[in-house]
A and B are shown apart, each in its own frame.
Chain A
Amino acid sequence: MNDDQLLRYSRHILLPEIGVEGQEAILAARALIVGAGGLGSPAAMYLAAAGVGTLVLADDDTVDLTNLQRQILHSAEGVGRLKVESGRDTLHRLNPLARVETRALRLEGEALEAEVAAADVVLDCSDNFATRHAINRACAHHARPLVSGAAIRFDGQVSVFDLRQPDGACYHCLFPEGEDVEEVRCAVMGVFAPLTGIVGATQAAEALKLLSGCGATLDGRLLLLDSLSMNWRSVSFGRDPACPVCAERARAQA
């Protein structure tokens, strides 16, 4: 770190749990953020401000006026622009030292595999189950830690799947695919603006802990937030012995 970096990140370095070593790990890291909306906004902003070396922002959407109520990466002059480009500009203003790579597409297939394989941590800030399961499979395949967040109406969920651990549980263990899923969208159901901030900032916190190796993450715990009553509930979970994604991992590791 140069003097500018030592000063910029001094309030992290002062924390004995992070220190110079932890901050170096953060600076050297590459984080993949899937979704530059309500959750991706605060997550990316905190990661950029905190010094994550490379941020990869993936989203195929453009900024809409209805996004601005909560998607704080974007502002009025960004309406109509690609979210990843609007987001990159905001992140550069926050921290010119952060490298931001943009992927203006819906990450899937080979492209998703390649981005996950290249990342040190993956943040799922997406808005649909198909993407959530695809990201989970890629993280399981490449043994990458996954920080998963979701928010709708007044309800939030956040968890970590530390798939670097051979026996860690995955998203599919928690919420199996294929069951009747009710896809509810912000456009129809509404979403409480700061709820996305609370959940997205929690994702950033977990990602920084994973990268710097400090504390205990949410691995094996799902937090349920009801922001209307502001009650948090924690549910612990383990690997589902019947999970096909984990069975595939076990085969690959054998």
Chain B
Amino acid sequence: MDLKILYFASLREALGRGEESLPLPEGVTTVGQLRAYLHARGDAWQALGEGRNVRAAVNQRMARSDDTLQGGEEVAFFPPVTGG
């Protein structure tokens, strides 16, 4: 089963897409590794770099970078929004 990846707010804006599906990439077993894999695409994907304020949720539950992925999950990446 493919991963369904969702991007929110300024991330969606920066990446020019709100979602994508892909098979669990080779060597990726955790949320942090998925983020690093996506970050390595370069250019706009720098927005997912380490230290950037982006949180991840797996199947609509907040996840930590060492939480494991098996494929088939819905992974959402989102930054905090601040405007009032």
Contacts and interface: CB of A to CB of B under 8 A. Distances in A.
B61 A150 contact: no
A150 B83 CA distance: 5
A155 interface: yes
A152 B53 contact: no
Interface stretch (B4-12, B26-34, B35-43, B65-73): B4-12
Interface string B47-84: 00001110101001110000000000000101111111
Contacts, number: 95
B53 A235 contact: no
A147 to B, nearest CB: 13
A174 interface: yes
A129 B79 CA distance: 12
A155 B9 contact: yes
Given A155-B8, A179-B52, A180-B52, A38 B62 contact: no
Interface string A209-241: 000000000000010101001000111111000
Interface residues of A, number: 43
B75 to A, nearest CB: 11
Contacts of A156: 81
A39 B52 CA distance: 26
Nearest to B80: A175
A179 B82 contact: no
A180 B61 CA distance: 23
A150 B84 contact: yes
B52 A152 contact: no
A242 to B, nearest CB: 10
Contact of A236 (B18, B53, B60, B84): B60
Interface of B: 6, 8-10, 12-13, 18, 51-53, 55, 57, 60-62, 76, 78-84
Interface of A: 35, 37-40, 124-129, 132, 149-153, 155-157, 174-176, 179-186, 189, 191, 222, 224, 226, 229, 233-238
Given A222-B62, A233-B8, A235-B61, 16 more contacts: A35-B84, A39-B84, A124-B84, A129-B82, A150-B83, A150-B84, A152-B10, A152-B81, A179-B52, A181-B82, A182-B79, A183-B82, A184-B83, A191-B83, A229-B18, A236-B61
